Amino acid sequence: MHHETASDVDYGRVGDSYAKLRRADPRIAESIHAALGDARTVLNVGAGAGSYEPTDRHVIAVEPSEAMRRQRSRNLAPAINARAEALPLDEQSVDASMATVTVHQWRDREAGLAELVRVTRGPIVVLAFDPGAFGAFWLAEYAPEYVAAERARDVPMPVLVKGLSSRGRRVQIDPVPVPIDCTDGFIEAYYGRPERYLDESVTRAQSGWGFTPPGTLDRFRAALGDDLASGAWDQKHGHWRAQPTFAGALRLLVSEPA
């Protein structure tokens, strides 16, 4: 039995691009692993193909998509077929938990966050996008529909904080700067490499396009391609190519027990 519909994305269709283009960026990974502290057992919920999982600890991976479970490296533990809202673990049974760019895909976010708190003794580390901060770079000019879709889809920070602060926990939110050569191909990763958005495999690994009106992606590619070819993009936005990092919508939330 598998749950390809357990999230809002059909990973049976787009999972191949995710495994190739949504590779953990080592600088972002360093922030996540540092936030896990000295935990020896780590639960990774919405684990996907294993991005950002530490390799020096015992990881319990949970992933409802068969397509994503299939693409996990042989060096990683096999993922359990389960959902965030019903974790098959005892109370306070893991040292730490992590959930990277996944909460927005859970059917019941509040229930999933409550489950993380229930099973975790120590830190809970969540990597997520702040919907209020989307559209802070030039993409908003070319694809306002994408920005609108992500703002509607991503989880507001107050909702995450409320869920992660139950049982007296305290939550800290920090912005995560995106490096210009980011290897994790989410939408902001190519802020300084606009040509990459013309590659179909790149946009296939950015699930937000699937929530835009029909024709949005084609129009975006055509407009951007024309402006890159004519030099209009560089004339107006070329400074983005020289910006070493971008402080966009990516956030790291760390929930610690009181």
Could you report the per-residue pLDDT of 100-120, keeping only the tens digit for each? 999 999 999 999 999 999 999
Could you report the per-residue pLDDT of 185-225, keeping only the tens digit for each? 999 999 999 999 999 999 998 989 999 999 999 999 999 99
Q: What is the pLDDT at residue 3?
A: 34
**What's the per-residue H, E or C state across the chain?**
CCCCCCCCCCHHHHHHHHHHHECCCHHHHHHHHHHCCCCCEEEEECCCCCCCCCCCCEEEEECCCHHHHHCCCCCCCCCECCCHHHCCCCCCCECEEEEECCHHHCCCHHHHHHHHHHHECCCEEEEEECHHHCCCCCHHHHCHHHHHHHHHHCCCHHHHHHHHCHHHCEEEEEECCEECCCCECCHHHHCCCHHHHHCHHHHHCCHHHHHCCCCHHHHHHHHHHHHHHHCHHHHHHHHHHHCCEECCCEEEEEEECC
User: Which tokens is 200 given?
Assistant: 């179909």
Q: What is the pLDDT at residue 7?
A: 47
Calpha distance 196→201 (Å, rounded): 9
**Which single residue is written with the structure tokens 């191949």?**
16
For the domain covering 11-256, report its CATH number: 3.40.50.150
pTM of the model: 0.89
Average pLDDT of span 245-254 = 97
Q: What is the pLDDT at residue 19?
A: 59
Q: What is the pLDDT at residue 18?
A: 57
- Answer whether 129's CB lies under 8 Å from 251's CB: yes
- Answer whether 22's CB lies under 8 Å from 44's CB: no
Please report, rounded to a whole number, the percentage of residues in the chain having pLDDT higher than 90.
Answer: 85
Q: What is the pLDDT at residue 16?
A: 55
Q: How far apart are the first and last CA of the chain?
A: 39
Closest CA to 32 of 102, 161, 126: 126
Q: What is the pLDDT at residue 11?
A: 46
Closest CA to 58 of 48, 46, 72, 44: 44
Mean pLDDT of the chain: 92
Could you report the per-residue pLDDT of 13-49, keeping only the tens digit for each? 444 555 577 789 999 999 999 999 999 999 999 999 8
Phi, psi of 81 (to 5 degrees): -80, 95
Q: What is the pLDDT at residue 196?
A: 97
Q: What is the pLDDT at residue 49?
A: 87
With a cut of 70, say whether residue 10 has pLDDT above it.
Answer: no
Average pLDDT of span 56-81 = 93
Q: What is the pLDDT at residue 15?
A: 47
Q: What is the pLDDT at residue 21?
A: 76
Closest CA to 49 of 25, 28, 24: 24
Residue ranges covered by each domain of the chain: 11-256
With a cut of 70, say whether residue 147 has pLDDT above it.
Answer: yes
CA distances from 117 to 31, 61, 66, 132, 166 (A): 21, 16, 25, 25, 7
Q: What is the pLDDT at residue 17?
A: 56
